[in-house]
Amino acid sequence: MQTVALQLETLDTPSLIKYIKELEESFNRQIRELTNENLLLKEECAIAKYKQYARSSEQLKLDPNQKLLFDEESVIKNSKEPMDDIEYKEVKSYKRRKCGRKPIDPNLPREDIIVDIDENEKICGCGAKLNRIGEETSEKVEIVPQKIKVIRFIRPKYACRHCEGTEDEGKKTVRIAPVPSSIIPKGIATPSLASHIIINKFEDHLPYNRQEKIFDRIKIAISRQDMSNWQMHIYAKIKPIFDFLRIAIKQGPVMKMDETTVQVMGEKGREDTQLSYMWLACGGLPEKPVVLYEYRETRAAYNAKKILEGYKGFLQTDGYEAYDSALKGNEDIIHAGCFAHARRHFIEAAEISSQEGAA
């Protein structure tokens, strides 16, 4: 402090004034920076609380005093163009959905049961027979539990009792029809059973151990190990379809991609707690859309690059940096963002701050 004081004493009046102004500007700049940093930390804290405790649906409560992002009404009012030049279109009125039970699909088969009164009640007190003047109908749904049947393939054997095949050289002594082809050779699963098991597994999320118990209840023994082996065998058979999907998904002008976590148990060389990823791509021709799922162990950019090999067109993704890395130097693909992801930041800003222009 003494050194600074001695330096100030050596300065003339203009230099001293200049030094004080520079010092004042430095202090003001530090105050602004600290104020902005404090405001930023407050908003980050508010956003963290909002994400943790607020509802997850992105619904914005409109305040009449809060300006919208695109306030079209004020733009029209402040516009210098004549109002007569503005075109209007008729908007259809809103139809409210009818309350109550939805009608049962008329294409479902019906079984009619007549619930009639006794014959003696069909006679009037005057002695005349009552006439049927109408009816009331009500419907109930009945479900028939699933049935399992066993298909037996009986292959008759043929042989010659006269010469025992000695006169028919070049042919087998005992003749029998070949075994019908099956997607799982020497297995008991028919295409209907295999598809039923796989749909339950992947569409209805019903694990094999639960399906095993369901089969036990209807007196059929199918172990979870058998079901798992059938799944892997069928995958090997239909694998060429995936190669076709990889080609078809790149034939359209637009493709969308995303990735989500998935946990795989018992994977060779990896811990059960490690997260893997399912990469999802949606594209193809508009009249023939294609959805492709690709399992990968990591979220690295080369996975996206591998899926996009040979594709030309628009790619829409979220803000994950791996897509930018995968498309680096690729002029055949135009990377497009997502309005839904961008909108979230405006929703968060509107929820945590009531200041105009906070977004």
Tell me what the mean pLDDT of segment 278-294 comes to.
Answer: 94
21 located within any domain: no
- Look at residue 303 and give its three-state secondary structure: helix
For residue 65, being part of any structural domain is answered with: no
Q: Is 281 inside a domain boundary?
A: yes
pTM of the model: 0.61
Task: Determine the residue type at 323.
Answer: Y
Report if residue 338 sits inside a domain. Answer: yes
Give residue 23's pLDDT: 85
What pLDDT sits at residue 333? 94
SS3 261: strand
What is the extent of the structural domain holding 264?
251-359
Assign 8 a pLDDT band (cuts: 50, 70, 90): low
* Residue whose structure tokens are 């209805």: 204
Task: Give the residue with greater pLDDT, 193 vs 98.
Answer: 193
Instruction: Tell me whether residue 89 is in a domain.
Output: no
Residue 356 falls within a domain, yes or no? yes
Name the band, by pLDDT with cuts 50, 70 and 90, for residue 135: very high
Angle ∠(239,243,247) on CA atoms, nearest 5: 160
pLDDT for the residue numbered 61: 57
CA–CA dist 196, 210 (Å, integer)? 14
Q: Sorting pLDDT into bands at 50, 70 and 90, what band is 314?
A: very high
pLDDT at 70: 52
Q: 129 - beta bridge partners?
A: 123
Q: Is residue 58 part of a domain?
A: no
pLDDT at 64: 59
Residue 63 has pLDDT above 60, yes or no: no
Q: Among the residues of 190-285, which ranges form H helices?
A: 191-202, 208-217, 224-248
Q: Which amino acid is at 245?
A: L
- Note whether 69 and 62 are within 8 A (CB): no
What's the domain count of the chain? 1
